[in-house]
Structure 1
């Protein structure tokens, strides 16, 4: 019998299952098929580095249950190389690929380089173009201080872009200021980014916060994958919210 799924969606960056975590997942199927029987969502980070064939996205969508959702990371050619300028051709190519996920596409994630400061005109044009191609959830993880001032906040609100709440935060001087009703948490590991395991006390506190604040459709993604902590943290948090 299928168990009820908690709010928000909980998953990791990528769907590899280590031998240490294998006992928590079914034995049969691909890594993605096994992963999707237990967790609710996943980030596709490989799309940041290279394109995938539309048929690949369609195959991934067919491999997971109906409730499962993918977050797809925008290519670095748009965010880091073109720095949000003149990227129409790349956006069209990316949309033609990622939209093959159809209803399983839950979010497009835009992660910006720490050196990219906020330029209102550039950001407005870019997010308008992105919104023309994707009508679902869009999330932005900025890492330059300029993206956290009042002008940037207002632009994200106007264009319905969810500001990512990251741990550890980068560029953010004060408390997190949400820009939509939805939440997107990216937990990179602290104190050692990508490696550190989150403590039971942290996860218990996070579960309380999510239970009282998060809306249906919000996301919590563990990116501390380098030392195999992400899967165990995601499973622990999911149990606390179930």
Structure 2
């Protein structure tokens, strides 16, 4: 059977949402008793020791999965060039999640154009280190053209379906059978709550993709909307 993983960026539980989660345990332990995945964004800003990832993995149930964001030192500072040593370090660290590593997320800067040779070398190096799910959220229009689509497809890397869809000139074109939906909040990014009709439509779309796994991450965390939207969508999927 397929799984629809629904979660948020980070596992902080606000006081407003606390009644929806168990009282005992760390925030991660409480979160993981209700939702079945989380996106680790802090890895984008700073490395975490392997022991930290191992502790997080031990804190959650067997079915729970983590999506971990690739460091910005690779994507934004090196801009995908000459980052193999940093990829090795990152792979070693997140490898401590074991089979609870569900996805590695690559978010590219809006200014980063698709350069075929650079992208090929980087994605090849990334795929050599991770055999599991990889997802890419590109935000420059050139990453939605045919050459980029073909490369992502060849390397089995899921194109993120984002809202709002930065850089995307037309309808979403998937590159794998697995969906990764990343909802930042619209119209006000990181803040806006998603209304009931939007979530109902999204639930129907996720139900329709029943033949494959899919992910939906709410990143509209700034005012606490993400947890409520995730819980609402989860209820609609049952």
Q: Superposition pairs for residues 6-45 of structure 1, below 5 Å?
A: 7-45=3-41
Deviations 1:209-235 (A, max 9, x none): 110025443100000000100000000
What TM-score do you get using the length of structure 2 for normalisation?
0.98
Deviations 1:120-148 (A, max 9, x none): 11011101101111110000000000000
Question: What do you get for the CA RMSD once the two structures are aligned?
Answer: 1.1
Q: Contact 1:189–1:224 at 8 Å: present in 2 too?
A: yes
- 1:150 aligns to 2:146 (yes or no): yes
Residue 206 of structure 1 is matched in structure 2 by 202
Report the CA distance between 1:34 and its aligned residue.
0.3
Asked whether the 8 Å contact 1:7–1:211 carries over to 2, the reply is: no
| Structure-1 residue corresponding to 2:68 | 72
**Structure 1: segments with no counterpart, 5+ residues:** none
Alignment of 1:98-177 (within 5 A): 98-177=94-173
Distance 1:12 1:184 in 2: 12
**Normalising to structure 1: TM-score of the pair?**
0.97
**Take 1:213 and 1:169, find their aligned partners in 2: how far apart are those partners?**
20
Matches of 2:31 and 2:153, distance apart in 1: 33
Of residues 182, 194, 219 in structure 2, which corresponds to 1:223? 219
The answer on whether the counterparts of 1:161 and 1:180 sit within 8 Å (CA) in structure 2 is yes
| 2:46 is the counterpart of 1:50 | yes
Runs of 4+ deviating beyond 3 Å: none
Q: For residues 77-97 of structure 1, give each alpha carbon's deviation from its aligned partner in whole angstroms, at most 9, with x where no partner exists.
A: 000000000001100110110
Deviations 1:16-51 (A, max 9, x none): 000000000000000000000000100000000000
